[in-house]
Amino acid sequence: MNKFNSRLGFILTAVGSAVGMANVWGFPYKLQEGGLFFLLVYIFFIGLFSYVGLSSEFAIGRIAEAGTIGSYENAFESKGKSPKLGRAISILPLIGLILLTIGYAVVVAYIFRALVDSITGTLMSVDVGSWYKDLSERDFSVWPYHLCVIILTLINCLGSAKTLEKSSKFMMPAFFILFVVIAIKIISLPNAMDGYRYMFRIDRSMISIGNVVSAMGQAFFSLSITGSAMMICGAYLHKDEDIIYSSKMTGLLDTIAAMVAAFVMIPSVVVFSMDQAGGPGLLFQVLPTILQNIEGGRFFSIILYLAVLFAGISSLQIMFEVVVESVTYVFKKLDRKIVLIAIGALVFLVGMNMEKVSQWGPFMDIISIYIIPIGAMIGAITWFYVLDKKTLISEIDLGSFRKYGQGWYRIGKYLYTPLVIVICLLTIIM
C-alpha cells in the first residue's frame, strides 16, 4: 500500500479532509451567536476530540492498513469475533460518507460558479438576490461547474496517497495564505474593530448548556470524525510516525482555519450592518453583497472563492479515496482507476439532479443530523469497546515521543465515547 512521504504531507492531507464548510460558514455563524464563551468551549472540545477521536481513527487505519471496511473487520477480529459482523456494521458509516460526498460536490460546484463569476466580473455587477435565485432555484444551474469539480477531484485521487499528499501540500497552504490576505483587507475597513470586539464579547446570556452543545457539535463535525473518513489517512501513515502529535497538529490547523474564516466573515457582516447568516446564505448572499461594496472587491472575491474551492476539493478527494478504497478492498480484482471513474460518475449524475438548494439543503441536513453522527458513534464504540485494548494502545504508542497508554485509553473509553453518544442523541433530538 502507498504511504505518505512525510509527516507534513500526512498532516496537511488530514487537515484538507477536516477543513471545509464547517469551518467557512458553520464556525463563523456560531461564533457570532456565542461569543467568547462559545470559543473557549469549542477550543476545549477540539483539543479533546483531536487527542482521542482523531488519533483513534488514525490508529485503527494504520493497524488494519485499510479504510472503512477493513478497519471494522480488523477491530472485530482482534477480539475473536466474526469479521463479517464488522463489515456489516461498517456499511452505515460508509453509506453516510457516500451520501455526504454527493451533496458536498454540489456545494463545491456552487463555489466554483461563484469563483468563475468573480473572475469574469459578473458577480460584481449583478443584483445578488437575483444571482443567488438563479443559482439555487433553477434545475441544472451549475452542472458544468459540477462536472469540473468531479474531474479535478478524480485527478487528485489518481495516485492514491502520493497525489493526495502532493495536492494537499499545495491547496492547504494556499487556503491559509489566501484567507489571510483577505483578512488583512477586512482589517482596513472602517469600524472593523467593532466586528472583532463582537467576536470576543463576553455575553453572560450565552453561558448555557445549549451553547456548550453547539460548540461540542461544531468541534466534532469540523474534525470530520465520521467513523469512516479518517482511517484512510491512518492507513497511509508510516509506523514510525507519532499519531498523537499528528492528531493534535491537525486539530490546531483546523482551528486556525476556522478562526481565519471568522476574522473575514464576522467583521464584514458587522461593518456593513448585514443580518447574521450561516450556511449558503453567508457565502452566496451576504459576502457577495459585501464584496461589491469594498475597494478591490473583484480581486478579493476571486481570492475568497479560490481559497474555499481549495478547501472543498481537499475534503472531496478524501471522501472519494475512502469510497474507492472500500470498493477495491472488497472486490480486489477491480481496477482502481475504473472504480474511481465509476464513483465519480455516480456522484455527478445523482448530484446533478439535486442542484437546487431546496433539494440538496434538506438532503445534507438529513445526512449531517442523523446519518453521520450515528456513524461516528458506531466508530467510537467499536474502537474503545470492541477493538482489543492492548492492540489499540500499542499502536498509539508506536512511534510516539512518549507513551500515552492507559491514561489516553481511559479518556477515550469513559469521556470521549460517552460524549459522542451524547452529541448523537442531542443532535437528533434538538
Q: Name which of 217, 197, 128, 241 is nearest 422 in CA terms.
A: 217
* C-alpha distance from residue 21 to each of 202, 203, 296, 298, 345 (Å): 26, 26, 25, 22, 23
Residue 47 pLDDT exceeds 80: yes
Using pLDDT thresholds of 50, 70 and 90, give the confidence band for residue 277: low
The pLDDT tens digits for 176-225 are: 888 888 888 888 888 888 888 888 988 888 888 888 888 888 888 888 88
Other CB atoms within 10 Å distance of the CB of residue 430: 10
How many whole angstroms separate alpha carbon 123 and alpha carbon 297?
10
pLDDT (mean) for 91-95: 91
Can you give the pLDDT at residue 283?
Answer: 84
pLDDT (mean) for 81-86: 92
Residue 136 pLDDT exceeds 70: yes
Integer Rg of the chain from CA: 21
DSSP state letters, 92-148: HHHHHHHHHHHHHHHHHHHHHHHHHHHHHTHHHHS-HHHHHHHHHHSTTTTHHHHHH
Can you give the pLDDT at residue 1?
Answer: 60
Can you give the pLDDT at residue 9?
Answer: 82
Can you give the pLDDT at residue 276?
Answer: 65
- The one-letter code for the residue type at 226 is T
How many whole angstroms separate alpha carbon 116 and alpha carbon 104?
19
* C-alpha distance from residue 98 to each of 23, 55, 105 (Å): 21, 23, 11
pLDDT (mean) for 366-373: 81
The pLDDT tens digits for 149-165 are: 999 999 988 876 677 77
How many whole angstroms separate alpha carbon 181 and alpha carbon 310?
15
Q: Name which of 326, 284, 331, 292 is nearest 308 in CA terms.
A: 284
Q: What is the pTM of this model?
A: 0.89
> Which stretch of 79-93, 274-288, 377-391 has the lowest confidence by average pLDDT?
274-288
The pLDDT tens digits for 51-67 are: 999 999 999 999 999 88
Using pLDDT thresholds of 50, 70 and 90, give the confidence band for residue 4: confident
Other CB atoms within 10 Å distance of the CB of residue 55: 30
83: its cell numbers: 469479521
379: its cell numbers: 466508530
Average pLDDT, the chain: 88
> Which residues contact residue 220 at a Cβ distance below 8 angstroms, ignoring those fewer than 6 apart?
45, 49, 53, 373, 376, 420, 423
Q: Would you say 19 and 314 are in contact if contact means Cβ atoms under 8 Å apart?
A: yes
Q: Name which of 24, 69, 116, 25 is nearest 323 in CA terms.
A: 69
> Which stretch of 42-46, 94-98, 108-112, 171-175 has the lowest confidence by average pLDDT?
171-175
Residue boundaries of the structural domains of the chain: 7-429
Residue 278 pLDDT exceeds 70: no
- The one-letter code for the residue type at 310 is F
- The one-letter code for the residue type at 418 is P
Using pLDDT thresholds of 50, 70 and 90, give the confidence band for residue 107: very high
